C-alpha cells in the first residue's frame, strides 16, 4: 500500500509539474502575441508534459543500480557441485538436492548476480535455487519469474525468499499463492500482509543493519504466523552482520559497517536457511 500511495503522489506531482511547465509556455506565447490555448488543449498538453516528466524521473531513479562484485559474477559459471543455468527471467542453481527449491528475489536496485554466492551455498547444501532477475532491478511483482520457476523446475517443496524490498515482494506473492509454497524466508525484510499459518516463516537480519526500517519491521510483526494458532515463525539476528552483506555489491548508503565479512554473513545465513528448510530449527 505504501508504494501504491507513493506512486500516486509522484504521478500527481508530475502532472502538476506538467501544468507549471505549460503555464510558462503559455506566458511565452502571449508575450509573442499568440492567442491563449483552449482549456481542453491546455489540459491534454499538461498531461502529456506530466507523463514525459514522470518517465524522465522514473528513468533517472531506476537506471542507476548496485552492480555485483566480480567475485559474485564468477559464481554464475557454476562449480563442481552446483550447475547454474540461465533462465528467461533469472538463473537456476542446480545442486545435489532434488526435492526442495528456493525462489529468491533481489533487493531494490541491486544486480541479481550479487546474490549468486549465497544461493550457491544454499544449492550446494541441498536446496536448489531460482534467482529472479527483475526488470530495472526493481521487483514490485514476481509473477512471471515465479510461474516460470514453478513450471520449468518442478520440485516437491518450494520456499520463497528475498532481501529487503525483494523479501516484501516475495512474501506478498506467497501470501497470495499459499498452496505453491511451504514457507517464506526474509532477509532484512518483513511481510506487509497477514501470513497464513500454513506458511512457515524464517526472518534473518544483521545486528548492525541500519538500512532496515526497524519501526516498520516491528509494527508488521503481527503479520507473522502466530505459534499459538499453529503457525511457525523463527527470527535470527546475525551478530556483526549488516544490510548489504547478504549479497556481494559493496557498501550501501544508510547502512552500518559490518564486523564480519560478507562470506561469513552469507555462510551463517545459508546454514540457518538450510536448517529451516530441513525442519531442524
Alpha carbon separation from 108 to 5, 30, 139 (Å, rounded): 18, 46, 7
Residue whose C-alpha cell is 514476481: 142
Residue whose C-alpha cell is 513450471: 151
* Residue 167: CATH number of its domain: 3.40.50.1820
Give the chain's domain count: 2
* 35 shares its domain with 164: no
- Identify the domain containing residue 39 by its residue range: 2-62
User: In the numeric block, which cell numbers belong to residue 252?
Assistant: 550501501
* 122 shares its domain with 186: yes
CA angle (267 as vertex; 190, 174 as ends), nearest 5: 30
Which helix (H) or strand (E) is 214 found in, with range?
helix 214-219
User: For 20-72, how does the pLDDT look when each residue is reduced to its tens digit (9 = 90+)?
Assistant: 676 666 666 667 777 777 777 767 766 776 676 666 655 555 545 589 999 99
User: For 63-83, how does the pLDDT look when each residue is reduced to its tens digit (9 = 90+)?
Assistant: 455 899 999 999 999 999 999
Q: Which of 11, 37, 62 is the last residue of a domain?
A: 62
User: For 74-133, how does the pLDDT look when each residue is reduced to its tens digit (9 = 90+)?
Assistant: 999 999 999 999 999 999 999 999 999 999 999 999 999 999 999 999 999 999 999 999
* 166 shares its domain with 216: yes
pLDDT for position 117: 98
Amino acid at each position: 500500500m505504501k508504494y501504491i500511495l507513493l506512486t500516486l503522489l509522484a504521478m500527481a506531482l508530475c502532472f502538476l509539474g506538467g501544468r507549471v511547465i505549460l503555464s510558462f509556455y503559455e506566458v511565452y506565447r502571449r508575450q509573442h502575441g499568440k492567442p491563449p490555448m483552449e482549456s481542453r488543449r491546455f489540459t491534454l498538453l499538461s498531461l502529456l508534459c506530466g507523463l514525459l516528466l514522470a518517465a524522465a524521473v522514473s528513468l533517472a531513479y531506476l537506471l542507476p543500480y548496485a552492480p555485483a562484485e566480480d567475485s559474485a559474477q564468477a559464481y554464475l559459471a557454476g562449480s563442481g557441485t552446483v550447475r547454474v543455468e540461465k533462465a528467461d527471467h533469472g538463473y537456476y542453481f542446480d545442486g545435489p538436492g532434488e526435492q526442495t527449491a528456493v525462489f529468491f528475489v533481489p533487493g531494490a536496485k541491486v544486480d541479481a548476480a550479487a546474490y549468486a554466492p549465497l544461493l550457491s551455498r544454499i544449492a550446494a547444501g541441498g536446496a536448489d535455487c531460482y534467482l529472479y532477475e527483475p526488470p530495472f532491478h526493481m521487483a514490485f511483482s514476481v509473477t512471471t519469474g515465479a510461474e516460470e520457476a514453478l513450471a520449468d523446475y518442478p520440485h516437491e517443496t518450494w520456499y520463497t525468499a528475498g532481501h529487503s524490498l525483494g523479501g516484501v515482494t516475495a512474501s506478498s506473492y506467497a501470501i497470495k499463492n499459499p498452496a505453491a509454497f511451504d514457507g517464506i524466508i526474509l532477509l532484512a525484510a518483513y511481510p506487509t500482509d497477514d501470513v497464513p499459518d500454513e506458511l512457515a516463516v524464517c526472518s534473518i537480519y544483521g545486528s548492525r543493519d541500519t538500512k532496515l526500517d526497524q519501526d516498520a519491521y516491528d509494527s508488521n510483526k503481527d503479520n507473522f504466523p502466530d505459534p499459538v494458532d499453529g503457525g511457525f515463525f523463527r527470527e535470527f539476528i546475525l551478530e556483526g552482520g549488516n544490510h548489504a552483506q547478504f549479497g556481494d555489491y559493496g557498501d550501501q548508503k544508510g547502512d552500518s559497517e559490518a564486523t564480519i565479512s560478507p562470506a561469513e554473513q552469507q555462510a551463517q545465513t545459508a546454514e540457518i536457511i538450510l536448517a529451516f528448510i530441513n525442519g531442524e530449527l
